[in-house]
Amino acid sequence: MIRAWAERVRRADPRWQDLGLTVLVQLACTMPFVVPTQPGASPKSWPAYLVTVLGLVPLVWRRRAPVTVLVAIVAVGFYYNFAMDGPGQPLPYGPLIAFYTVAVLSPPRTRFAVTSAVLVSAGFAVYGNTGTARELIFTLFVIAAAYALGRSQYTRQAYTAAVEDRAEQLERANRIEAEQAAARERARIAREMHDILSHAVSIMIVQAEAGPVAVRKAPARAEAAFEAIAETGRDAMAQLRTMLGVLRTEEAAPRAPQPGIGALPTLLDRVRAGGPRVSYERTGAVRELPAALEATVHRVVQEALTNVVKHAGASAVDVRLEYGAQTLTVTVTDDGRGPGGASSGGTSSGGHGLIGIRERAAAHGGTAWTGPGPDGVGYAVRVVLVTSQQEVGT
């Protein structure tokens, strides 16, 4: 309870704090005027009491003008001691608090000048009172204690401000990092959604456009086309459910792995059903790769084939995976219209597919290149992915 009360006082408006401190000091200075005194002591009078009040009122403004407040309080104190005949005070509470405030708030030069003046004034006050070494030592000790407390308070406030500033900077950095992470995650989800939906919709459109012709000329082929449409839709829905499951908070959300290199034959069969001939070859030291890298390979091939189906008008597509010592090169070439027309580069759709391919390659320390196919015929997509630091078992 006491701690909570102290915390409320600390967080109160400084003006109310200073007013409360002034009232508290005034109560302390009132004691000699209300307690019984010994015979022969200085008489109590209202003028003397009003002078003590006048000497403490400036404390209300001690934070705004610490040096001025100290000078005013010391001046009134000298007047009380040498011109008034009133009860003595146990300690000069007002001047000590004002000097403490100067030690907390004033710059070094001001503190040095004020401290020098206070020491000289204290010497004169002791000389005019008892003139004893005992009183002088006690006075100097009290002044030094007030100054030390003021500097200690300044250090504590500076440390607290530094800690709060550091915490604010850390919070701001964490917020920026969280926003950047959210932006990266949104980009990743958008890329995945684009790859899944663009491929599935492209295949279904091609099959649907060929369906009416096949119904009249080759019913068996039409049946296969419609089956391919259904299979493509089911596969797209399964992948979308998997992706949406990752975004859910329920523990029961599906966590099926993303398709990898092993799923490429199924992907190629689906494209073959749409018309173009698709060849597939793997060369080099074929080996198992991490799931994330295999998923990237699958998405790169999927996006490249989607662009072929949508834009190239190709009759043949070649997919090649070349396993190097430290890299995996994915090449997809077609014999379509090439970059001169509505090419497989995906420019007619805003280029989001190629942007996604480059982003995926960069995520694995690789590069992506697109341009004319061999001998300037068709279009080629070439992606080099770094595997030397990602291989299983390394």
Residue-range domain boundaries for the chain: 2-131, 278-394
Q: pTM of the entire structure?
A: 0.51
CB-based contact 229:333 (threshold 8 Å): no
Query: Residue 52 carries which side chain, given as an amino acid letter?
Result: T
Q: Which residue has the tokens 């200690």?
A: 152
pLDDT of amino acid 180: 85
What distance separates the 2 farthest-apart alpha carbons in the chain? 133
**Residue 282: which H helix or E strand, with range?**
strand 277-284
Q: Which residue has the tokens 């405030």?
A: 101
pLDDT of amino acid 4: 65
> Which residues, given as ranges, of the chain have pLDDT below 70?
1-11, 40-41, 195, 198-199, 202-203, 206-207, 209-225, 239, 242-257, 274-275, 338-352, 388-394
CATH topology of domain 278-394: Heat Shock Protein 90 (3.30.565)
Q: How far apart are CA 179 and CA 71, in angstroms?
A: 54
Residues sharing a CB contact under 8 Å with residue 345, sequence separation 6 or more, in sequence order: 307, 311, 339, 351, 354, 370, 379
Q: How far apart are CA 300 and CA 356, in angstroms?
A: 8
Helix intervals (H) in the chain: 2-10, 14-34, 46-56, 66-83, 93-105, 108-129, 133-217, 219-247, 264-272, 291-307, 352-363
pLDDT of amino acid 218: 63
pLDDT of amino acid 236: 72
